[in-house]
Amino acid sequence: MTYRVAGFPFTVKADETLLKRMENLKPFEEAAGPDVQLFDLEQVEAVDTPEGEPLFCTQDGPEFPEIAIWALPEGHLFRMRPLPGRPVAVELKVNEDFTKACMQLRGTDDVFALNNTLMLLYAFSSARKGALEMHSSVVMHDGKGYLFLGKSGTGKSTHSRLWLQNIPDTELLNDDNPVLRLMPDGSARVFGTPWSGKTPCYKAQDVPVGAIVRIEQAPENAIRRLSPLEAYASVMASASAFRPFKELSDGWHRTLEAVAALVPCYTLRCLPDDAAAILCHKTVHG
C-alpha cells in the first residue's frame, strides 16, 4: 500500500488485515505511482538479532517508548519497546540512507508498533528533504497554521482547544505530530499526518505556517516574540531528534535556521484560560 504524507509518498508491504486496521493511515492512501518513494517498508518473518551492546538506547523516562540502536555494516537496527522493561514490540532493520527497511513485529499491539516504526522512518528519511517532524499541536485559522510547542504536559492540546472554543473559524489540523516543511518556493507549510497522539485527527491537509508558539505554564498571560536564534532553539527542541545520526544533521540544522528566519516565533507564558488564547490570537494573527 502507498501513502502520501506531507507530499512524500512511501510504501508499506505488511499483513493486509493489519493495514486494514490502520484507520489513521486511510486518509493518506493513494494509488502506487511512478514517484520516487521516501522509503519502502516491508514486514518480514525475522530480522537477524543484533550482536553485542547497542550503540545507544533512549532514556526518555518510564512513560515513553524505549529504542535501542545497533550499527550494522549496511545500516542500523532499531529495537523498540512500548515502555522500558516491556517485551520488544518491533525490530527494524534500515539501510544507510533510511530508504529501505524491514520490520519484524514481535509484540501484541501491532498497530502501535507499525505507527511508531513509520514515524521513526519518516523523520529520518525526510530529514534531508527540508521536512521536520514536529512535536506540536496545530490549529488552522483564516487559512494559516499555528503550531503550539511545549514539553509533554505543558498544555499544547489544551491551548489548541482554547482556540477552538474562543476563536471563530478555527479547526484542529493535528494534535501531536504534524510535519513542517520548507517548500521549494521558499515558503513554510504545515501538514496533517497519520500521527496525532491520543486525539484521532488524521487530516491530509496543509496550510502555510502563520506562527510557531512555545507554551509555558505561568501564573499570568504574557507573549513575547523570539529572536531568530531563540526561534531556532525553540523549534529545534520540538523537532524529532536526529541527533544520533551526524550524517543527517547538517540538512536538519539548515532547515531549522530557515524556518527560524521565515516564521514568526513566540513564547506564550500562560494560564489554561480563554484569555490566553485570545491574547495569543491577537498577537500572532496580526
Chain contacts with another protein (rule: CB under 8 A): 55-56, 59, 69, 227-229, 231-233, 236-237, 241, 243-244, 246, 249, 253, 256-257, 260-261
Nearer to another protein, 164 or 258 (CB): 258
Min dist. Cβ of residue 71 to another protein (A): 9
145/152 Cα distance (integer angstroms): 21
Min dist. Cβ of residue 3 to another protein (A): 29
Report residue 280: phi and psi, to 5°: -60, -50
Nearer to another protein, 81 or 161 (CB): 81
Min dist. Cβ of residue 250 to another protein (A): 9
Nearer to another protein, 208 or 228 (CB): 228
CB atoms under 10 Å from CB of 244, counted, come to: 14
102/124 Cα distance (integer angstroms): 15
**Helices 246-262/228-238 angle, 10° precision:** 130
DSSP letter (8 states) at residue 96 = T
Nearer to another protein, 12 or 69 (CB): 69
| Burial track 13-34 (b if 16+ CB lie within 10 A, e otherwise) | ebeeeebeebebbeebeeeeee
Contact status, residue 96 vs residue 74, Cβ threshold 8 Å:
yes
Contact status, residue 43 vs residue 105, Cβ threshold 8 Å:
yes
Nearer to another protein, 198 or 246 (CB): 246
Nearer to another protein, 218 or 237 (CB): 237
**Helices 274-285/156-166 angle, 10° precision:** 80
Min dist. Cβ of residue 259 to another protein (A): 11
Min dist. Cβ of residue 81 to another protein (A): 18
